Amino acid sequence: MTEQTKLAVAYPVIVEGKYDKLRLESVIEGTILTTDGFGIFKKAEKQALFRALASKTPLIILTDSDGAGKVIRGHLSSLIPSDRLIQLYIPRISGVEKRKQEPSAEGVLGVEGMERELLARLFLPFSDGQVSVERANITKTDFYLNGLTGHTESRRKRDAFAKSLGLPEGMTPSALLAAVQIICTKEEYQAAVDKLLPTAGKETL
């Protein structure tokens, strides 16, 4: 696998933290979400996001191989039906991630410390069109025209729109778009926008 090559993975992937996400972004193209570590236990909105996505597509879980990763994986497995989860596992390898001065409590590498080639092998069966998730043709332009980006009140409107779909508030435009493309058809999206933002448009925002 060259530095420039990435695997296109259709299913959303859940990892623990931002550094795990950054590592995966060097290996795959797709939707990568984080649990914010143990934050998933108290963030009802994020739990709702995962459930909403799972109602439309299987989700891939990839947590660290330590005890904390096992607990987080177990919690996710209690939130989402087993037939909607694809469980991937990294090997238990002793070491310290490059950004850290000290090893973790258990002295093993997390997802962020895995070699790209190893991660690529894990995701290869789910790449390059071998799986397919239907995504609605909802674009960044649609978000702009409906006032969800690029305008003074866009953040407030995104939060209200996300809440109406059972998604968490505070999502970035890109994260919200990725979720909406999975859980809505184009018609459902437009109906939700029209209901919530009947006067949406760049002239009125």
pLDDT tens, position by position, 107-160? 888 999 999 999 999 998 888 655 556 678 999 999 999 999 998 889 999 988
**Would you place residue 99 in the very low, low, confident or very high pLDDT band (cuts 50, 70, 90)?**
confident
**Residue extents of the structural domains in the chain:** 7-126, 140-196
Above pLDDT 70, what percent of the chain?
89
pLDDT winner (highest mean) among 98-107, 140-149, 176-185:
140-149
Torsion sign (Cα): 69, 13, 43, 73: negative
Query: Could you tell me where the DSSP H helices lie in the chain?
Result: 18-25, 44-54, 67-79, 116-123, 140-145, 154-164, 173-183, 186-196
CA distance 59 to 77: 11
Residue with tokens 């934050």: 39
CATH of domain 7-126: 3.40.1360.10
Encoded amino acid at 171, one letter: M
**Would you place residue 204 in the very low, low, confident or very high pLDDT band (cuts 50, 70, 90)?**
very low
CA distance 13 to 24: 9
Torsion sign (Cα): 145, 164, 34, 76: negative
Encoded amino acid at 63, one letter: T
Q: Are 10 and 58 in contact (CB under 8 A)?
A: no
Predicted local distance difference test score (pLDDT) of residue 129: 56
Predicted local distance difference test score (pLDDT) of residue 4: 59
Q: 45 or 156: whose pLDDT is higher?
A: 156
